[in-house]
Amino acid sequence: MTNKLKYFVGNWKMFGDFTSFKTVNKINQFSRKYKKLHKNKIILCVPNTLIFFFNKKLQSKNISLGAQNCHYYQNYGPFTGSVNSQMLKKTGAEYIILGHSENRSEGDTDKIIEKKINSSIKNKLNVIFCIGESYKQKKNGKTFSTLRKQMKNSLKKISNLNKIILAYEPIWSIGTNNIPKASQLKKTIKFIKNESKKILKIKKPIKVLYGGSVDPNNARSFSFIKEIDGFLIGRASQSAKKFIDIIENYYK
Ligand code: 13P
210-240 pLDDT, tens per residue? 999 999 999 999 999 999 999 999 999 999 9
Check if the beta carbon of residue 91 is closer than 8 Å to that of residue 55.
Answer: yes
Closest CA to 148 of 137, 161, 162, 135: 137
**How many Å apart are CA 187 and CA 232, to the nearest integer?**
18
Within a domain: 252: no
Sequence letter at residue 227? E
pLDDT (0 to 100) of residue 218 = 98
CATH of the domain at 209: 3.20.20.70
Q: What is the length of the chain? A: 252
Distance 12 CA to ligand 1 centre (A): 9
Distance of CA 96 to the CA centre of its chain: 8
Residue 122 lies in a domain: yes
In a domain, 250, yes or no: no
- Catalytic one of 100, 102, 114, 133: 100
Cα distance between residue 206 and residue 127, in whole Å? 12
Looking at residue 168, its pLDDT comes to 98
| pLDDT tens track for 103-157 | 999 999 999 999 999 999 999 999 999 999 999 999 999 999 999 999 999 999 8
Residue 110: the pLDDT is 98
Q: Residue 1: is its pLDDT beyond 90?
A: no
- Asked if 225 contacts 185 with a C-beta cutoff of 8 angstroms, the reply is yes
* Cross-strand partners of 42: 8
Q: Confirm whether 249 is domain-assigned.
A: no
In a domain, 196, yes or no: yes
99 lines ligand 1 (CB under 6 A): no
Q: What DSSP character marks residue 215?
A: -
User: For the residues 159-183, what does the mean pLDDT come to?
Assistant: 96
Q: What is the DSSP string of 2-42?
A: --S-EEEEEE--S---GGGHHHHHHHHHHHHHHTTTS-EEE
Strands 95-98, 6-11: parallel, antiparallel or unpaired by DSSP? unpaired
Cβ–ligand 1 distance for 212 under 6 Å, the answer yes
Percent of the chain with pLDDT over 90: 94
Q: Which residues form the domain of 78?
A: 6-243
Assigned domain for 251 exists: no
Distance separating alpha carbons of residues 150 and 144, to the nearest angstrom: 10
The phi and psi torsions of 41 (rounded to 5 degrees) equal: -130, 130
Tell me which of 7, 9, 11, 43 to substitute to probe ligand 1's pocket, judged by most ligand atoms within 8 Å of the beta carbon.
11
> Is 90 exceeded by the pLDDT of residue 189?
yes
Among 174, 210, 239, say which to mutate for ligand 1: greatest number of ligand atoms within 8 Å of CB. 174
Q: What's residue 2's pLDDT?
A: 67
pLDDT in tens, 6-34: 999 999 999 999 999 999 999 999 999 99
Concerning whether 71 is annotated as a catalytic residue, the answer is no
Domain count within the chain = 1
Please give the backbone phi and psi of residue 8, each rounded to the nearest 5 degrees, phi first: -125, 105
Catalytic status, residue 169: yes
- pLDDT band of residue 159 (cuts 50, 70, 90) is confident
Quickly list H helices, 65-181: 85-91, 101-104, 110-122, 135-139, 143-155
> What percent of the chain is modeled with pLDDT above 70?
99
Radius of gyration of the chain from Cα atoms? 17
How many CB atoms are closer than 10 A to CB 76?
9
Are residues 247 and 230 in contact, defined by beta-carbon separation less than 8 angstroms?
no
Confidence of residue 80 (pLDDT cuts 50, 70, 90): very high
**Does ligand 1 have an atom closer than 6 angstroms to the CB of 214?**
yes
Confidence at residue 3, expressed as pLDDT on a 0 to 100 scale? 80
Largest pairwise CA distance in the chain: 51
Q: Does 59 score more than 70 pLDDT?
A: yes
Return the pLDDT at 160.
Answer: 85
Q: Which of 102, 114, 133, 169 is catalytic?
A: 169
The answer as to whether 192 is a domain residue is: yes
User: In this structure, is residue 248 part of a structural domain?
Assistant: no
Check pocket membership of 68 for ligand 1, CB cut-off 6 A. Answer: no
